Structure 1
Amino acid sequence: MKTNAKNTQQNTTTTKTATADPALLDTPAAQAAFATTRTTVKVYAALTTAALLAVVAVAATGHMVNPFMWTRAALLPLIALLLHRLTASTARGSHRAFERLRTITVVFPIAIVGVDLIPGVCPWWYAALQALCVLPALRIAVTLRGAALRAAFPKKR
């Protein structure tokens, strides 16, 4: 009998700290925000894959492509998998995934553009392509800060 009471208390505690209010997740506004986020992650994946293919094409035509460009071009599409996973967890109500997604989608574009602005790191066309690729992340950041998702995921105290 004590075990059941203890398990019930643990489940209640876990639910309170780990998930959003299910009723607020099912609102049309929240569902629209999740749909926008999922679509935007797909756009991000397509753009970063296109950027990788551009680097491959430039290298195949005999132009210089430095190791930084190869590494960045290969890693950015992988970030799409992370964003997809966090988006799916957020849509299921994970507060932790929501907070991580909010943080990543703000810090990530700033870091990408900031590094690209360092003189000599990459050519202008590559920096412009990378800036285009991070625009969807900014769209996700704005969507996650909308009223519907802020209501569904109130700040923890």
Structure 2
Amino acid sequence: MANTSDMTTATAQLGDSRTQEAFATVKKCITLFGAVSAIVLGTVAVMAFTGHEATPFMWIRGAILLAVAPLIHRMTVRASQGSYKAFDRVRTLSTIMPIAIIGVDLIPGLCPAWYAVIQGLSALAMIGVAVITRGAALSAAFPKK
């Protein structure tokens, strides 16, 4: 159980300008992830309406990744307000998601190359989140329990 001085130190760290700048950058990266996901889904829709191939995989994955972006953003907001649980979730998701996105894109024949490239760009935004959430500013604000 944490003592009062540990909690006061953590609260002070959350108010630090470096910590808030790090959270602002994380929010921008997540917004970029959502924007790229929206572009992917929009491109799939345009291709489907113009008679090009748009597989159910492309539709479902595009929709899921777009739907996840606001959820991760909300977790980041909660983390910036001091929620360790939300911070840990954001840190975990930002590590797992790029691996999953890129790993699935590497399966031959599952999706076209253009789709894999754009999804890879969204994964880069999440890699940025993973790096920042493991950086000094946020690690100091959320010391290991």
Contact 1:25 1:91 in 2 (8 A): yes
Q: Which residue of 2 aligns with 1:120?
A: 109
Q: Structure 2 length normalisation: TM-score?
A: 0.92
Q: If the length of structure 1 is used for normalisation, what is the TM-score?
A: 0.85
- Secondary structure at the aligned position of 1:93 is classed as coil
The correspondence for 1:94, drawn from 53, 60, 83, is 83
Structure 1 20/135 Cα, relative in aligned 2: closer, same or farther at 3 Å? Answer: farther
Q: Which residue of 2 aligns with 1:5?
A: none
1:60-139 aligned at under 5 Å gives the runs 60-139=49-128
Other-structure match for 1:47: 36
Q: Give ranges in structure 2 of 5+ residues lacking alignment.
A: none
CA distance in 2, matches of 1:95, 1:35: 17
CA distance in 2, matches of 1:23, 1:66: 50
* Aligned match of 1:6: none
2:143, 2:117 → 1: CA distance?
36
1:148 matched to 2:140: no
In the other structure, the counterpart of 1:9 is none
| Structure 2 residue aligned with 1:23 | 12
Percent pairwise identity: 47
C-alpha separation between the residues in 2 aligned to 1:124 and 1:150?
Answer: 37
Gaps of 5+ in 1: 1-11
Paired amino acid for 1:79: V
Q: CA RMSD in A?
A: 2.1
| Bigger radius of gyration | 1
Which residue of 2 is the match for residue 7 of structure 1?
A: none
Secondary structure in 2 matching 1:21: helix
Tell me the SS of whatever aligns to 2:144: coil
Counterpart secondary structure, 1:135: helix
